[in-house]
Amino acid sequence: MPKYDKSAKSDKPLYGHQAKKRFGQNFLSDDSIIANIVASIRPKANQHLVEIGPGQGAITASIIASGARLDVVELDNDLLPILKLHFGLKENFTLHHADALRFDYNALVDDEQPLRVVGNLPYNISTPLIFHLLEHCNNITDMHFMLQLEVVKRLAAQPDCKAYGRLTVMTQYYCDIEQLFIVPPTAFRPAPKVDSAIVRLVPHKQLPHVAKDVNLLEHVVSIAFQQRRKTLRNTLKKLCCEAFIVENGINPAARPENLTLAEYVTLANAIYDAKQQGRDITAP
Ligand code: SAH
C-alpha cells in the first residue's frame, strides 16, 4: 500500500470528500493523464465497460461521454451521492454499491457482449482483485488498470528477474500483459509516495498452455516461489523428487524465477498425470 506524503498540498478534499486510506483512495487530478488513460482504453458506444472504484468520477465522465454502457462498482458510501449527482441521470450508467472483491462480474453479462474492465484500483486490494477477475476471464475482452509501478512490473515480468513470481506466472497464464505508461505521484490527490503505471491485460482467446488442473498449477507455482532463492529440487521436495523434475526436461538446479510459464504447466500436468496413475513421485 502506498505511503502518504503528508507534506503534499494535494490533500485538500474535493467535493468536501476527505480521501480515506482504508479504501486506498488516491484520486486522479491531472487532466492530461486522465485523457491519456481514456485514450488507451478507447471506449466505444457499442461496448460494455465496468469501472472498479470510480471515486469522484475522474475517468468515469469520459467513458460515459463515449456512449459506452458503463457499470461502476464503488464500496465507499460517502462517494455514492457525488456519483449519483454527476451521472445518475445518464442512461448508459449504472451504479453498484458493492465490494469489487466479491462482485459477480458474470452477472453483468446479459446480452453476450463481453466486458471491458477498467479502474484506478485501490492498491491495497489490487492483487486479490486481479485474481478474482481472472476467474471471470471468459467474459472479459480486456482490462486497463492503474497500479503501483512495482506491481505492474511483476505482472509484465519475464523469467530470470526478481519481479518474476507467482503473480506473473498466474496472470500470464490467462492474459497478455503490456505496461503502457508511468504515472507520477503528482497526478493524484492525495499523492502516493510511489510511482504508478497503467497496465493492459488481454485474456487469451485460447490459452497458449493448458493446465489439466489450474488449482494444481497454482499450488505448484506457489510452493515453488515460497523460497525463491532455493533450487527447484529443494523447493519442490514436498511435491516431487529430483528425478521427476529431470524426467520432465527441467533443470533441478534452476531457481523458481528461471522457469517459464510453459515449464510450470508441463510440470503441473506431469504431477497431475502421476497422481491419476497413483504413482509415487516423491521417492527418489
Ligand atoms: N477512479 C478514481 C478513484 C481511485 S481511488 C480516480 O481515479 O480518481 C480507488 C477507489 O476505489 C476509491 O473510490 C475507493 O473508494 C474504491 N474502493 C476501494 N476499495 C474498494 C472495493 N473493495 N470495492 C470497490 N471499490 C473500492
Q: What pLDDT digit, counting tens, does each position of 23-82 carry? A: 989 999 999 999 999 999 999 999 999 999 999 999 999 999 999 999 999 999 999 999
Which of 34, 36, 120 has most ligand 1 atoms within 8 Å of CB, for mutation?
Answer: 120
Ramachandran region, residue 82 (left: φ > 0; alpha: ψ -120 to 50; beta: rest): alpha
Q: Is 215 annotated as a binding residue?
A: no
Q: Considering the entire predicted model, what is its pTM?
A: 0.92
Does residue 1 carry a pLDDT above 60? Answer: no
* Domain range list for the chain: 6-203, 214-276
Write the class of the CATH domain 6-203.
alpha beta
Distances (CA, A) of 173 to 118, 136, 216: 20, 14, 13
Q: What pLDDT digit, counting tens, does each position of 76-121 carry? A: 999 999 999 999 999 999 999 999 999 999 999 988 899 999 999 9
Beta strands in the chain (DSSP E): 27-28, 48-52, 69-74, 93-97, 115-120, 140-148, 175-183, 188-189, 196-203
User: Cα(23) to centroid of ligand 1, in Å?
Assistant: 6
User: How far is it, in rounded angstroms, from Cα 11 to Cα 5?
Assistant: 9
Taking the alpha carbons at both ends of the chain, their separation in whole angstroms is 43
Say which CATH superfamily domain 214-276 falls into.
Answer: rRNA adenine dimethylase, C-terminal domain (1.10.8.100)
Distances (CA, A) of 130 to 133, 152, 223: 5, 12, 20
What pairing do the DSSP bridges indicate for beta strands 115-120 and 140-148?
parallel
User: How far is it, in rounded angstroms, from Cα 268 to Cα 154?
Assistant: 22
